[in-house]
């Protein structure tokens, strides 16, 4: 399966899916975080990575360095399949304010059980999570590669909101709602 993309006037101006980051922030470590990680692994089919607290917050009982969230980064085929299921759960609608000028789309899911194909397990509980979609253009590898790394110019890095919306509508059939 090829990478879904929206081709514009020039092949290097095409917009494509870079990655999808799924974040399940629990706020505490222990059994609750383990359950969240297990659910995240079931949803995405990939083992989650844990994120640590940056500082101690005594009121919430959080210590610096304690695991408080689970994160998964999806690319390629897995990202597309996951997004199709998530968009189905939110009725293929996204608010326009969820899209920024750099090709990033962020939205939240309040309960993981609304995603098709997931079953409620009372021992695990119900968790919400955030989905961050990163769109990019061809040539973004220049900023990530190891040898001869370089910056990407602002005109190439900027993906206008209109292009992001066009990508979502063409590739996933998502309707963007203006409030």
Residue ranges making up the domain that contains 100: 5-177
Identify the DSSP state of 168: I
Residue 9: the pLDDT is: 80
Residue 49: the pLDDT is: 93
Q: Which residues of 158-176 are buried (b: 16+ CB within 10 A; e: fewer)?
A: ebebebbbebbeebbebeb
Nearest-angstrom CA–CA distance, 153 and 135 = 16
Q: Convert the pLDDT of each residue in 117-168 to its tens digit.
A: 888 888 888 888 999 999 998 888 889 899 999 998 888 888 889 889 999 9
Q: What is the count of structural domains for the chain? A: 1
Question: CA 120, 124, 126 angle in degrees (round to 5)?
Answer: 60
Say if residues 54 and 64 touch (Cβ distance below 8 Å).
Answer: yes
At residue 3 the predicted structure's pLDDT band, cuts being 50, 70 and 90, is confident
Q: Which residues of 22-56 are buried (b: 16+ CB within 10 A; e: fewer)?
A: bbbebeebeeebebbbebbeebbeeebeeeebeee
What's phi and psi for 118, nearest 5 deg?
Answer: -105, 145
Q: Convert the pLDDT of each residue in 10-50 to its tens digit.
A: 888 888 999 999 999 888 888 888 999 999 999 999 999 99
Of 97, 93, 108, nearest in space to 172 by CA: 93
Residue 2: the pLDDT is: 59
| Mean pLDDT of the region 108-117 | 88
Question: CA 3, 77, 24 angle in degrees (round to 5)?
Answer: 120
Residue 53: the pLDDT is: 85
In Å, how far are 2, 99, 149, 152 from 107, measured between CA atoms? 25, 9, 31, 26
The CATH number assigned to the domain holding 161 equals: 3.30.1440.10
Question: Can you point out the beta strands (E) in 27-158?
Answer: 49-52, 67-74, 93-95, 104-109, 129-136
Question: CA 134, 137, 139 angle in degrees (round to 5)?
Answer: 120
Nearest-angstrom CA–CA distance, 23 and 48 = 9
Residue 106: the pLDDT is: 94
């Amino acid at each position: 399966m090829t990478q879904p993309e929206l081709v514009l006037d020039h092949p290097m101006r095409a917009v494509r899916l870079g990655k999808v980051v799924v974040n399940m922030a629990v706020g505490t470590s222990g059994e609750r975080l383990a359950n969240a990680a297990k659910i995240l692994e079931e949803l995405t089919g990939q083992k989650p990575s844990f994120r640590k607290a940056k500082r101690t917050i005594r009121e919430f009982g959080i210590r610096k360095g304690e695991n408080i969230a689970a994160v998964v980064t999806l690319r390629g085929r897995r990202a597309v399949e996951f997004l199709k299921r998530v968009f189905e759960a939110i009725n293929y609608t996204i608010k326009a304010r969820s899209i920024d000028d750099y090709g990033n789309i962020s939205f939240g899911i309040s309960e993981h059980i609304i995603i098709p194909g997931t079953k409620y397990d009372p021992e695990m509980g119900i968790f919400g999570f955030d989905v961050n979609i990163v769109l990019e253009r061809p040539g973004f590898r220049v900023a990530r590669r190891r040898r001869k790394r370089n910056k990407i110019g602002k005109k190439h890095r900027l993906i206008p909101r209109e292009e992001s919306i066009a990508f979502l509508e063409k590739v996933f059939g998502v309707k963007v709602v203006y409030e």
